Chains A and B, each alone.
Chain A
Amino acid sequence: MLEARSVTRYYGGIPAVLDVNFTVKPGEVLGYLGPNGSGKSTTVKMLTGMLAPTRGYIFFDGVDIQENLLEYKALVGYVPEEAHVYTYLSAEEYLRLAGRLRGLEAGSLDRRIDRFLTLLRLDAERHSALSTFSKGMRQKVLLAAALLHDPKIVVLDEPASGLDVGAMLALRALINGLSRGGRIVFYSSHEMDTVEKIATRVIILRSGRVVADDSVERLRDLTQQVSLENVFAKLAVEDDVDGLAENLLDAMQL
C-alpha cells in the first residue's frame, strides 16, 4: 500500500504541495488531477523518490520510502510528463539501458525488449535514434521502459500525451490490466475522459491542496455534475473560461 501522510513541499519558501494525504491500495488506480501549477508534478517527483518532502512522509507497505530509497525506486515504473530521454540512443539501446539500470538479467531483458517493441509496433524503428521519433513513439518507449521490470507501483504522468486513439485505448486497457494484476497505479493527467473511465478514485488538487478525494461517481453525486470534467471545472478552475475565450477573440482583432 502506498500512503502519503501530510506531504508538503516548499520551493524556496513557496509551498508547491501542502498537507496532501492519500492511500492507494494494490489494484487501485488513483487519478490525480489539477490545473497547471497545482502541484501535480511535485507530488509525482516525491512519489518517484526524486524529491524528498519538506514535511510529511510517503510510506510504502508501512515503511518510509526515504529509509531505503534505492529499494523503493526499484519497485517503481515511471512515465514522465515530458519525454526526457537520451535522444542519441536508439529505442532498443534506451530500453537496454533502463533494463540494466534495473538489474534485469541479459536473456530476460532481450526477450522483454523484443516483445515490448513488437507489441508497441516499434520493431521496425528499434535501431533508429530517439531524436527521429515522434512524440507518440517516444511516449511508447517511455512506457516500455517503465514496465520492463514488472514494477509494483506505476506512476504515469500524462502518459497519453502524443498517443493516437488506438494506442490511447490500448493504454486504458493496459492500466486496467495492471490494476487487476494487483499493482498500484498513480495516474496524473489533464485528461478527464480517461481518468473518468479508469480511476477507482480521484484526487483533485488546487494550489497545492487537495480539494476533492473520492470515487468518480461520488464526486459527481456530491457536486451534482454530470461528468468529471464539470466536477473539475467547479472545484479547480478559477478562471472565467467564457470570458477568457471572448478576450482571446478580441485580441485577434487588435
Chain B
Amino acid sequence: MTRAPLPQESSQIAALTRSFLARFFDNEMTGGSSDLQHAFFWLLAALATPGLVMPTVAGNGWNIMALAPGPEGGLDFLRMQASANLTFSIGVTMVGIGLMAAVSWQSLLLERRDVQVLGTFPVRYRTVLIAKLCSLVLFFLILVAATAPLSAVCYGLFLGTAFSVPFGFRVAGLHVLVSTLAALASYLAVIGFQGLVLSVAGPRLFTRVAPLLQLLVVAMLGLLFLSLPAASTATLGRLYAIGPTSPDWVLWMPTTWFYGIYAKGMGVTLPIMDVLIGRAMTTTVALLAIVLVTYPLSYRRLIVDALIGVAAPARRSLPGRGVAAIPALLSASPVAQATLQFTMTTIGRVGVHRLVMSMAVGAAMAIIVPLAAANLGPAGVSPAASVLAIPIVLMTAVLIGLRITYAMPAELGAAWLFRAAAGQEWAEHRIAARRLMLVAGVLLPIAITVPVFGSDWGVGTALLHSLVCAALGALITEGLLIDFDGVPCSAPFEPGRAQLESRWPWYLAGMNIAMLGIPINEAELLITGRPLGLLVIAGVFAVNTAIVRRWSEYRRPEPVTQESPGPASFRVLLR
C-alpha cells in the first residue's frame, strides 16, 4: 500500500475537541435560533447570581454575629452558623450545573452522526472518545468558571471580614474546591445516567426512553432544589445541635457531604466531617468510574447501530394507534386534525420539544412528590390545600410546557407545507391548539388524580374539585393562547412575545393564585362545610374563560404573510 502520512493524534484530538465543544453552545436545544442561544448564555450567567447574592445578604449579619458576646455570638458560633448558607450555596451549584447538563442533553454523549461523519476519516475510535471527554471537561470548566470564582470572592470577602484576611483567602479557595467537586458530582451523575442507560438499552431504546430520563433528571434536581431550605437548616441542627431540627436524613444529602469538606477546611474538627468527606469523595469517584466505563461502551453500541444496525420496519404499537385516533376524536375538521396530528407527533418525537415537556413535568413532580409525601397516612375529613394543589400544579406545568413547545419550531424549513396549504384557517389551528391543551393539560391531570380524591373524600368532593380544576385549566389555556397565531411548532421562536421582562409579576401572581390561593380557598370551603362554594369558584373561572377567549379573538394578531409559499406544484396538490 502506498504509505500516506498519518496525522498526529494530538492534532486530531484538538480539532475534534473544538468541534465537540461548539456543539454545547449550538445543539438541538439552541441550534438555529440566536434567541435560544442567548437564553442559554443568560442561564449560564444566572448560575453565578446566587453565589453573589447569598453571601452579600448574609454578610452584615455575619459581622454582627462575630462581634456578639455570649453563646450565640463569636467566631466559633459564626463558623457553625454559616453552614446553612454554605450548604444552600453548594446545593444551588449542584442544581444549576445539573440543569445545564440537562439542557445540553443531546451534546453530552457521542451520537450516530459522529460515527457517520468521522467514520471515513483516518481517526481512531479512541481519538474520538478522548476528544469527546476533553470537550466534556472543557464545558464543565466553563460552567464552573462562570459560577465558582465570583462566588468564592464574595464568600471569602464577607467571611474574611468577620474572621481575618487569611481566613477569607482560605474560604475563597475552599469555595472553589467544594463548588467544583459538588458541580462535578452533579455533572457526572447526568452523564453517567445517560451512559449507563445507553450502554444497557442500546441507542434505539435509549432514544425512546430519553423523555422519561430527562423527566427523572429534572424531577430529581427540582426535588433537591426544593429540599435545600429544609436541608440547610437541618444541617445546622444535625451537625451542631443549633435550631429545632436534627434529622438523620440530612447526613444522606449530597449537599451535606460536600459541606463536610468545607467544614474540615475551615477548621471544624468533628469526627462526622470525615464521614461526610468520605461519602462525598466515594460518590464522586464512583460516578467518574461509571462515566469512564459506560462512555466507551455506549460509543461502541452507537457504532454498531450506525453501521450495521438494520432498522426493522416500524410497526404501530397499541398506544400508538390510540394516539393516532385522537385527532379524529377531537375535531371533525381535516385542517384541525392535521394541526393536531402534526403538533402531537412533533412534541412526542422532536428532542427539544420532548425536553421542554420533560422539564415541565419534572418540575411539577418535584413539587408534587413532597406534597404527596407530606399527606401520606389516613385521610382527614376533607382534603388539605396541599393535596388539592396537586392536580393544579401538574395542570399548570403541562399547560405552560405545551405553550412553550407550540412556540418552538421543528424543522422550520419544512414549514412551507403549511404555508402552501394555508388559507384562512386561523380559527381551525387555534381550535386544535386549544383542544390539545385541554385534553393533555387539563383532562389528563384531572383523570389521574380524581380516583384518589373519590376514594378518600367521596365522589362529591372529587367532582367538585375536578370542576374547579377544569374551569381553572380552561382559563389558563385561554390566557396562554392570547396572541397565539398559526400552526404550533411551525413558526420561528420569538420569546419576546411572552414579554417576560414586563409581565413577570403578572405571571408570578397568576401562578401563585392558581397553585396556592385556589387550593387554600377550596380547603377552607370544604372544611367549613360549604362545598357548593367550589361551584361558585368554577363559575367565576368559566365566565372569565369566556371573556378572555372573546378578547383574545378580538385582538387576533395579523397573520404573517410569507414571501415564498413553496413550490407551486405542491400548492396545487395540497389545495
A residues neighboring B (CB under 8 Å): 11-12, 14, 45, 48-51, 60-63, 65, 68, 70-76, 78, 80, 82, 84-89, 93, 96-98, 100-104, 129, 131, 152
Report which of B5, B117, B121, B310 forms a contact with A11, defined as CB distance below 8 A: B310
Cα distance, A251 to B121, chains bound together (Å) = 46
Cα distance, A168 to B298, chains bound together (Å) = 40
Further contacts, 14 of them, CB under 8 A, given A48-B120, A75-B2: A48-B119, A61-B1, A73-B123, A74-B5, A75-B1, A82-B116, A84-B113, A88-B26, A89-B19, A96-B15, A100-B14, A103-B6, A104-B7, A131-B31
Report which of A12, A49, A63, A101 forms a contact with B1, defined as CB distance below 8 A: A63
Residues of A contacting B22 in the complex (Cβ-Cβ under 8 angstroms): 88-89, 93
Report which of A50, A88, A89 forms a contact with B27, defined as CB distance below 8 A: A88
Cα distance, A63 to B121, chains bound together (Å) = 19
Cα distance, A48 to B120, chains bound together (Å) = 6
Residues of B contacting A60 in the complex (Cβ-Cβ under 8 angstroms): 1-2
Determine if B560 is an interface residue (Cβ-Cβ < 8 Å). Answer: no
Determine if B124 is an interface residue (Cβ-Cβ < 8 Å). Answer: yes
Question: Would B2 and A61 count as touching, CB distance under 8 A?
Answer: yes
Interface string of B1-14 (1 = CB under 8 A from A): 11111111001101
Of A14, A50, A60, A87, which is in contact with the most chain B CB atoms at under 10 Å from its CB? A50
Q: A71-B3, A71-B4, A88-B22 are in contact. Are A50 and B119 (CB under 8 A)?
A: yes
Residues of A contacting B394 in the complex (Cβ-Cβ under 8 angstroms): none
Cα distance, A101 to B310, chains bound together (Å) = 29
Residues of B contacting A71 in the complex (Cβ-Cβ under 8 angstroms): 1, 3-4, 6, 122
Nearest to A10 among chain B residues (CB) is B308
Q: A14-B310, A70-B122, A87-B31 are in contact. Are A102 and B1 (CB under 8 A)?
A: no
Question: Would A73 and B120 count as touching, CB distance under 8 A?
Answer: yes
Question: Would A12 and B12 count as touching, CB distance under 8 A?
Answer: no
Q: A73-B122, A88-B22 are in contact. Are A100 and B31 (CB under 8 A)?
A: no
Report which of A62, A68, A85 forms a contact with B117, defined as CB distance below 8 A: A85
Cα distance, A88 to B112, chains bound together (Å) = 16
Tally of B interface residues using CB under 8 Å: 34
Question: Would A12 and B16 count as touching, CB distance under 8 A?
Answer: no
Report which of B5, B16, B18 forms a contact with A103, defined as CB distance below 8 A: B5
Report which of B5, B6, B116, B122 forms a contact with A84, defined as CB distance below 8 A: B116
A16 to chain B, nearest CB (A): 9
Question: Would B2 and A152 count as touching, CB distance under 8 A?
Answer: yes
Cα distance, A49 to B120, chains bound together (Å) = 7
Residues of B contacting A12 in the complex (Cβ-Cβ under 8 angstroms): 308, 310
Question: Would B2 and A100 count as touching, CB distance under 8 A?
Answer: no
Question: Would A97 and B1 count as touching, CB distance under 8 A?
Answer: no
Question: Would A72 and B121 count as touching, CB distance under 8 A?
Answer: no
Q: A76-B120, A87-B31, A131-B31 are in contact. Are A97 and B5 (CB under 8 A)?
A: no
Question: Would B15 and A100 count as touching, CB distance under 8 A?
Answer: yes
Give me 22 A-to-B residue pairs in the complex whose CB atoms sit less than 8 angstroms apart, sorted by A's number: A50-B119, A60-B1, A62-B1, A70-B122, A71-B3, A71-B122, A74-B4, A74-B7, A82-B116, A84-B113, A86-B23, A88-B22, A89-B19, A89-B22, A96-B15, A97-B16, A97-B18, A101-B7, A103-B12, A103-B122, A129-B26, A131-B31
Determine if B50 is an interface residue (Cβ-Cβ < 8 Å). Answer: no
Residues of B contacting A72 in the complex (Cβ-Cβ under 8 angstroms): 1
B19-35 CB contacts (< 8 Å) to partner A: 19, 22-23, 26-27, 31-32
Report which of B14, B117, B308, B310 forms a contact with A51, defined as CB distance below 8 A: B308
Question: Would A100 and B11 count as touching, CB distance under 8 A?
Answer: yes
Question: Would B121 and A98 count as touching, CB distance under 8 A?
Answer: yes
Question: Would A80 and B1 count as touching, CB distance under 8 A?
Answer: no
Question: Would B19 and A97 count as touching, CB distance under 8 A?
Answer: yes
Determine if B574 is an interface residue (Cβ-Cβ < 8 Å). Answer: no
Cα distance, A45 to B306, chains bound together (Å) = 11
A137 to chain B, nearest CB (A): 13
Cα distance, A208 to B117, chains bound together (Å) = 25
Cα distance, A72 to B113, chains bound together (Å) = 22
Report which of B27, B32, B122 forms a contact with A101, defined as CB distance below 8 A: B122
A110 to chain B, nearest CB (A): 14
Determine if B118 is an interface residue (Cβ-Cβ < 8 Å). Answer: yes
Residues of A contacting B226 in the complex (Cβ-Cβ under 8 angstroms): none
Determine if B289 is an interface residue (Cβ-Cβ < 8 Å). Answer: no
Cα distance, A97 to B123, chains bound together (Å) = 12
Nearest to B20 among chain A residues (CB) is A86
Residues of A contacting B11 in the complex (Cβ-Cβ under 8 angstroms): 100, 103
B557 to chain A, nearest CB (A): 27
Cα distance, A48 to B308, chains bound together (Å) = 14
Question: Would A103 and B8 count as touching, CB distance under 8 A?
Answer: yes
Q: A60-B1, A61-B1, A74-B4 are in contact. Are A101 and B307 (CB under 8 A)?
A: no
Of A14, A88, A93, A129, which is in contact with the most chain B CB atoms at under 10 Å from its CB? A88
Cα distance, A70 to B125, chains bound together (Å) = 11
Residues of A contacting B7 in the complex (Cβ-Cβ under 8 angstroms): 74, 100-104
Nearest to B19 among chain A residues (CB) is A97
B302-349 CB contacts (< 8 Å) to partner A: 307-308, 310
Cα distance, A100 to B123, chains bound together (Å) = 11
Question: Would A101 and B118 count as touching, CB distance under 8 A?
Answer: yes
Question: Would B121 and A101 count as touching, CB distance under 8 A?
Answer: yes
Question: Would A78 and B2 count as touching, CB distance under 8 A?
Answer: no
Report which of A48, A75, A88, A96 forms a contact with B31, defined as CB distance below 8 A: A88
Of B5, B16, B19, B26, which is in contact with the most chain A CB atoms at under 10 Å from its CB? B19
Residues of A contacting B116 in the complex (Cβ-Cβ under 8 angstroms): 80, 82, 84
Of A62, A86, A87, A98, which is in contact with the most chain B CB atoms at under 10 Å from its CB? A86
B491-520 CB contacts (< 8 Å) to partner A: none
Question: Would A78 and B32 count as touching, CB distance under 8 A?
Answer: no
A9 to chain B, nearest CB (A): 8
Closest 8 CB pairs of A and B: A103-B7, A100-B15, A88-B26, A74-B4, A73-B122, A63-B1, A74-B122, A50-B119
B334 to chain A, nearest CB (A): 16
Report which of B6, B18, B117 forms a contact with A70, defined as CB distance below 8 A: B6
Nearest to A87 among chain B residues (CB) is B31
Question: Would A86 and B15 count as touching, CB distance under 8 A?
Answer: no
Question: Would A51 and B15 count as touching, CB distance under 8 A?
Answer: no
Nearest to A70 among chain B residues (CB) is B122
Cα distance, A73 to B16, chains bound together (Å) = 17
Residues of A contacting B14 in the complex (Cβ-Cβ under 8 angstroms): 100
Cα distance, A80 to B306, chains bound together (Å) = 14
B6 to chain A, nearest CB (A): 6
Nearest to A69 among chain B residues (CB) is B122
Residues of A contacting B124 in the complex (Cβ-Cβ under 8 angstroms): 70
B494 to chain A, nearest CB (A): 18
Cα distance, A83 to B147, chains bound together (Å) = 39
Report which of B3, B27, B122 forms a contact with A102, defined as CB distance below 8 A: B122
Question: Would A88 and B23 count as touching, CB distance under 8 A?
Answer: yes
A155 to chain B, nearest CB (A): 8
Residues of B contacting A65 in the complex (Cβ-Cβ under 8 angstroms): 1
Residues of B contacting A80 in the complex (Cβ-Cβ under 8 angstroms): 116, 120
Residues of A contacting B121 in the complex (Cβ-Cβ under 8 angstroms): 73, 98, 101-102
